[in-house]
Structures are given as structure tokens and as C-alpha cells.
Amino acid sequence: MEYLFLLVLVLSLWTGSQSESVNHKLFKTGSDDFLISLSTDGTYNISVKGKQWLSSAPTYFNSDNKTFSAADGSLKLLESSASSGTDKIGDWQSQTYLYQTVDSLAVKITANIKIYKDLPIIIFQQIFNDGANWTQGENYEDICGGFPGFKMEGQSGNLGYMSFGGLMVGDTNKHFGQWYNGTSQINEGIAGGPLAWFDIDGHTIVFSPFNNFMSASFSHDKDVGGYYYGGVMGGVYSIPAGHHQDFILYYGVGVNKAFEHWGKTLRKFYGKTLTEQKKDFTITHLGYWTDNGAYYYYNTETGETYEQTMYDVKNYADKVKIPFRYIQYDSWWYYQGVGRGVKTWRSRPDVFPDGFKNVTQTLKLPAAAHNRYWASDTTYAKQNGGKYDFIVEKYKALPVTKQFWVDLFTEAKQWGLILYEQDWLNVEFSGLQALLHDLDLGTQWLTQMAEAASESGIYIQYCMANPRHTMQSLLYPAVTQIRVSNDYNPGGDQWKIGISSILASALGLAPYKDTFWTTEKQPGNIYNRTEPNWKLNAVVSTLSTGPVGPSDMVGATNVSMLMKCCREDGVILKPQYPIRAIDAQIIGEAFPYSGGPGGEVWVSYTQFSSLKFANILALNIGQGYSYTLHPKDTGIYSFKEGNGDLYAVPYDEPYGWVQFSNLYGIDITGVFTPSRIALYHVSQAIPGWFMTTIFGELDKWAPMSPQRVVSVSWTNDTVTAPLIGAPKETFNFWYLLGSKLDAVTCQLSINGTVMFKMDRDLGIATCQ
């Protein structure tokens, strides 16, 4: 796209005198619809589709425990200048504002705005030319200065927002609303996260930090009519000269699409790929979990040790042919100290009398192991007689040397660790004063952990992560997965991951729903609860693309239902792209009368060549809502399909298939009960073939999975799809050929392969 400036930038010097005129310059980004107007007085406005969305709030910075603001003149604008260049994102033009505090120190700070030529991106940079000391003191929920800042103004109904915040990727405190006054619930401080603005048509801007994720924060100032700022975390005592904190605005059409492309930009910039995620054994294979919500969470078989209980689990699984390929061990196995933090991360003899290594070797299953925050009495710290450098405070401690992590993982590798679950990330961060006041300590902590894990061949799952931890994972190939909802609680709604999965997957992390039961009643459980939503939990877990880890008591697993998630060898059959809430659901949260579903409507999909195969899950559609889903609502099918291009089939009624088009939608009014879920599989027609498509293995939650289907190709006469799986595995593979729905029984060879083939002339399909 040609890079057009509506007004040419010129280098200029501006003294701030009121007698001089203010110059306004309008810039176009890589999208014609996303513009920013910059002024030589330091103000800026952002418009979308010709309408002003955002206007700037006064820039301010803190130094020497004082606040200096452009609003009252205590922060003086010395000059405004323009420049251009190229970086890893692309070609840019920028406007730079040089400020100085009006006091005896006369500290200089630069505010820079970069506009990119070929992408709909604007980056705001705070540059502390001279550094700053005692920038905020104890108020770590505030920020050390605000730039960029945006006024909360406009009229109700014009602009909506989605604000991530809290734990589990910002899921637990997420908010939706309309951006027009200072009372809106926008997340801020150390638990705040990315923010998205959108209109009723789905035009979206995503706002987030672009670097220094562990020390970046947001502030929502309600007292002045509503300002929202980005800046450096407020508790930081000092900022070195030259330090810069960047924030990004990314524009896209569609909330999901905007987040996807925002995430791709960040992943490309930081080199985060999905390569390691695809290698993580705990993501690709079925496991057994013992964390909170599990039957054996701080609970064993009557009169038995945990060691014998784990043997019982494995023996039962072998008996009924459940292919568990690893076991997760939660916080019950190691030594705990002050505040139930970690004292020593080694197995206790009362838990594993024969030792952890003997357990994994006897079971012949590798381990995923939980860890929490370090207690102040941890035996690893030099302060307590250990050998490693730690920061030790009243209740918590933090290792500050990479060698600690190297030694910890080296030892754990010997007893079978393949996944390290770092839980309680938010509690470690907010509970250790050193992390709140040091600009770089949070980054150092997570970097040392991740680098040691990579060197040891161990993967990491983040749990109870704030958005800052989530974004920091962009720097670490070893961090492959993240919890996206609160702890599992039988009978609860912890399965609601449709929103948080948008953020997690955009950043290259496999969303993990947590464990679940596969049957309703499991006598003797410590929660005194039942699980009526056992089927729903299994579906969500599988379609999340994260780990699948049930946690039933011995003898209580619904084996046939559980096996819908995987092959006979335990490889999980999952979609290529994780299940996420559709745009209409998100927009409806901010604009209740927008015609949204009034409940949860999520979509995942897999693509083979030009064909897309989707899974649609509809949940909890509200009373009084009538909603019909069409292909255009999914965010997947962008072409203008005619009748017959797409076909949808209910997961439990293969012969109930219907055409799925903009004329013939799916009525999802009033769906979802504990005994029946609304799950539809959508297949795209073979180009040039009349009413012909592949539905796949409809006995599975993800019928067209890359773990079963290698590819789909076609000519004028035939359609072929190589299939893979466990040696000699047998399954039914469904197809529609010239309006005739049928299934062919496929048996894989000793090598775990077979070829599915449809022949147009013969009107048949075979597996051979």
C-alpha cells in the first residue's frame, strides 16, 4: 500500500509560546481507516473510519517524588521534531516531543510516536533521557508517568471496550463496557492488561505494552473525568537514563482478527513461534492430573500413600485402556514452609516412600510437576544455610541466580520431569516488595527460569499469571502453555475460556482449561460436590488445544466419552486453532442490544489447503434471546458462500446434517443443558463437487484434526486424505458424496497409516 502523508512532516522547533500557532499533521498508517492527528503542542487524536475515537490526555511524568504535567505547565515542551526509519516491524515516520521538568533538576523526558507504513500500527515511546529517581514510591498500583493517555469521552453507544485484568491471563477480572465516562471498569495497576476498543461493527484497536512487560502498567484516573494511561509500574524507585517504555496500538476489522494480528506482530518481533508448543508432550498427549478440583488433590485412596494411589490410577487406566501418557503431581508432594510457600522442592517420604524417581520409573510415565512461590524459610537460600543467592523477605523469597534453576531442573529431569508448572505467579509478584520496586527484577526472575528450562529440555506452564507474565512469555520458547480460567471446581463454570483464550493464543500459548471429571458422581470427594457438566468440560478441554487432563477417582471414568478426545495411543485430536468467543458475543457484552447471542458462542477450526473445518459450541443462551448463527458470524468463512458451500452436523446426530449458509443458519436459541451440549461440526464443500465434503471422525470432539488427517487434496475425479494414528487403530470416517451421507470403516496399517479416497464416478468412498 502506498505510504501517503496527507500533510508533509517538517523538522521544526517549538518553544511552547502561546503566541505561536499550533501545527496539526494527519498521518495514515498501513490502513486507510486508521489515522492519527499529531500537533506540535504534544496533543494527538486517533480516528477510525473517519470518526474520532480517542483524544489525548495530558502527558505527565514523575521524578523526585513529584508529578510534572503538561496540563499545568510543570512539564514544559521544549521542542517537537520529526524523523523516519526502519526497524523489525517495518518503515516508520515519527513525531518526537522533548519535555523537561520545571524544577531545579530539569529532567528531560522524550515522548515519541511512531507510525508504520505497511501495517496498522502506532507505537508510543516514553524515553527517560536523564533517568528518574523516586518516581512514585510505595504506590505500585499507579504509574511513574502517563504517555500515551486517552480521555474517556464521547457518547454512550459509540465505542465499546474489553479490558483484561486479574489472574489466568487477565480472565478473572475482565470487564466490558462503553467508553464514555470515567466510571467505566477499566483494569489498571499490576493486574491490569491489554485493552481493546471496538464499535458495533467490530472495528477494533488493541492497546498493550510493547516491551518491558514486567514493569509496564496502566492507570485509570477517574477523578479528572476519565483518563487512561500507559506507563512504568508505579512502585519503581528509579529509572536509568535512556530507559524506554513502549506501547502499541494495533487496528483490525473484527475483534478476534485484531487480536490475532496484534499477537502475530509481537511474536514476530520477539521471535516466538509455535514450534516448541507442538513438541510439548503434555500438550500433544493425554495426561492424568491431581491439581485443585481433582479427586486426588490432597486426597488418597483409603489407607494408602500417594505413591500407591498413583499406582492404582495407572493400573485402572491400563485395565480399561485409557492411554495416559504422563501424570501431573500437584503441591501435595513437596515440603512447604512459611505461608505454605515452597521450602524444599523435593518429594516427602510420607508421600513417596520409595522416592519420586522410583514412582515415575515404576509407572513408566513422565511427570508434570507443580510449584508455587518460595517461602522465606526455603532451604535453598544462603540466608537459611543453602547455597544460592535469594532475596528473602518476611514471607516470601526469590532466587536471583540462574544456576539455582539449572540445578533444580537438572535434578528434576532425573526423576522424570517434562513440564514445570509455575503456579501462584501473581502472589509471588505482588507479595515480594523487591519485585514491585525494581525495574528489572521481574524480567530477571522469569528469564533465568525459562533459560534454564530450555537448556534442560523442560517446558513451562504459567498458572495464576497476570497479563504482564503472559506477555513476558513472548521472550521464552520454553513457556508453551498457560491456564486461562480459575481452578476447576466440580459443578462450577470454570469451563468459560472463550474470552481469555483469545489473548493466550494470540501470544503463542496453548490455553489450558484445567482438569475435569468425566462422570457426575464420584463418592468420597473432598469437595462434597457433583459434576453435571462432565461432557461439556471434556469438549472445552479438547477444543482448547491445550493439555487434556482428567482427574477422576479410580473406577469412575467415562472411558468412551473421554476417548472422544484422542487416538488409541493417547495423541489428542484437536483443532488447529483454539476455540474462542465469536465477535458477536464480545460486542454484545459492551452493546447489549447489538443482536448478539446473549450467551457463549465459540468457534475453533482446522484448515487443509483452502478448506476450513470448524467446530461451533453454543452455551447458556439467555432467556428471551433468539439467535441464528451464520457463516459470516464465525469469523472464519469470509467468502460469500452460496447454498451448499458449507454443511453443519450436530456432534451426536450425523444424519441431522444441514446446509450452513447466509440463508440457512444454525438456530442456537435456548441451547445447552448438562445432559446435552450444542456442538456442531462444519465442513467446507470440495470445490467443483456437488454437495460433497468430508465430515471426518464424528466419534471425536474434533473430527477433522491434523493429528488424524494429514491433508486433503482433490482432482476432478477423486478426493484423497492420508490418515494417521495408532497401529491397527479402527474408526469410522464420515463423508457426504453427492448428497449421500455415509461412513467408511478405516483400519490403519501396522505403520499407523491409511488412505481415505472418494471416487466421483463410482460414487463411493474407501479406506485402503
Final residue before a domain boundary, out of 270, 287, 322 = 270
Residues 545 and 587 in one domain: no
Burial of 544 (0-12, 13-18, 19+ CB in 10 A): buried
Helices (H) and strands (E) in the chain, counts: 14, 47
> Domain span at residue 625?
578-767
pLDDT category of residue 641 using cuts at 50, 70 and 90: very low
Residues 6+ apart with CB under 8 A from 157: 178, 200, 591
Q: Mean pLDDT lowest for which of 173-187, 473-487, 703-717, 736-750?
A: 173-187
Res 570 pLDDT > 90: yes
With bands split at pLDDT 50, 70 and 90, how would you rate the model's confidence at 663? confident
Q: What is the CATH number of the domain that holds 507?
A: 3.20.20.70
| Per-residue pLDDT at 226 | 87
pLDDT of residue 221: 84
Reply yes or no on whether the pLDDT at 736 is more than 80.
Answer: yes
Single-letter amino acid code for the residue at 549: G
Would you place residue 622 in the very low, low, confident or very high pLDDT band (cuts 50, 70, 90)?
low
Looking at residue 154, what is its pLDDT?
74
Res. 241: pLDDT tops 60: yes
Report the domain count for the chain.
3
Q: What is the mean pLDDT of residues 81-98?
A: 95
Range of weakest confidence among 333-342, 597-606, 652-661, 665-674: 665-674
Do residues 242 and 308 both lie within one domain? no
User: Above 90 in pLDDT, residue 468?
Assistant: yes
Residues 37, 110 share a domain: yes
Mean pLDDT to the nearest integer, 678-689: 93
The least confident of 357-366, 613-622, 632-641 is 632-641
Decide which of 511, 537, 565 is a domain's last residue.
Answer: 565
Look over the chain and give the mean of its residue pLDDT values, rounded to a whole number. Answer: 92
> Does one domain contain both 288 and 336?
yes
Is 363 found in the same domain as 477? yes
In a shared domain, residues 171 and 203: yes
Mean pLDDT of 39-63: 95
Share of the chain above pLDDT 70, in %: 94
Rounded CA-CA distance 757/768 in Å is 8
Phi, psi (degrees; rounded to nearest 5) at 473: -65, -15
Average pLDDT for residues 421-435, to the nearest whole number?
Answer: 97
Query: Is 6 a domain residue?
Result: no
DSSP for 433-486, please give it. HHHHH-SSHHHHHHHHHHHHHHHHT-EEEE-S--HHHHHHGGG-TTEEEEE-S-
pLDDT digits (tens, 9 = 90+) for 328-343: 999 999 999 999 999 9
Instruction: Please check whether residue 19 lies inside any domain of the structure.
Output: no
Cβ–Cβ under 8 Å, residues 683 and 696: yes
Model confidence band, residue 1 (pLDDT cutoffs 50, 70, 90): very low
Query: What is the tens place of the pLDDT at every residue in 396-405?
Result: 999 999 999 9
Mean pLDDT along residues 299-319: 97
Regarding whether 662 and 707 lie in a shared domain, the answer is: yes
Q: Are residues 364 and 454 in the same domain?
A: yes
Q: Does residue 469 lie within any of the structural domains? A: yes
Residue 90 contacts residue 138 (beta carbons within 8 Å): no
Q: What value does the mean pLDDT take over residues 622-628?
A: 71
Identify the pLDDT of residue 24. 78
pLDDT confidence of residue 136: 64
Residue 484 covered by a domain: yes
Residue 483 resides in a domain:
yes
**Band of residue 139 on the pLDDT scale cut at 50, 70, 90:** confident
- Considering the domain architecture, whether residues 69 and 133 belong to the same structural domain is answered as yes
Does residue 334 belong to any structural domain of this protein?
A: yes
Do 233 and 382 lie in a common domain?
Answer: no
Domain membership of residue 7 (yes or no) is: no
Average pLDDT over residues 236-261: 97
Q: Which stretch of 109-113, 224-228, 372-376, 558-562 has the lowest confidence by average pLDDT? A: 224-228
Mean pLDDT, range 256-283, rounded to an integer: 97
Tell me which DSSP letter residue 103 carries. Answer: S
**Greatest mean pLDDT among 6-20, 267-281, 639-653, 674-688:** 267-281
Q: Among the listed ranges 161-165, 559-563, 620-624, which one has the minimum average pLDDT value? A: 620-624
With cut-offs at 50, 70 and 90, classify the pLDDT of residue 3.
very low
Helix (H, G, I), strand (E, B) or coil at 538: helix
Domain CATH number, residue 90: 2.70.98.10
Q: Would 10 be classed as within a structural domain?
A: no
Closest CA to 560 of 534, 540, 521: 534
* pLDDT tens for each residue of 180-224: 876 678 999 999 999 999 999 999 999 999 999 999 999 998 776
Angle between helices 356-363 and 306-320 (to 10 degrees): 10
Mean pLDDT across 345-349: 97
What is the maximum alpha-carbon separation in the chain?
90
Residue 326: name the closest of 370, 287, 271 by CA. Answer: 287
How is residue 200 written as a grid cell? 458495533
> Would you call 715 exposed, middle or buried from its count of C-beta atoms within 10 A (0-12, 13-18, 19+)?
exposed
Residues 255 and 352 grouped into a single domain = no
What pLDDT band is residue 18 in, cutting at 50, 70 and 90? very low
Of the chain, the percentage scoring pLDDT greater than 90 comes to 84
What stretches of 505-625 adopt beta strand conformation (E)?
510-512, 577-581, 600-608, 611-619
Q: What's the whole-number mean pLDDT along residues 665-690?
A: 83
The residue from 532, 565, 598 where one domain ends is 565
Same domain, 258 and 320: no
Q: Is residue 599 over pLDDT 50?
A: yes
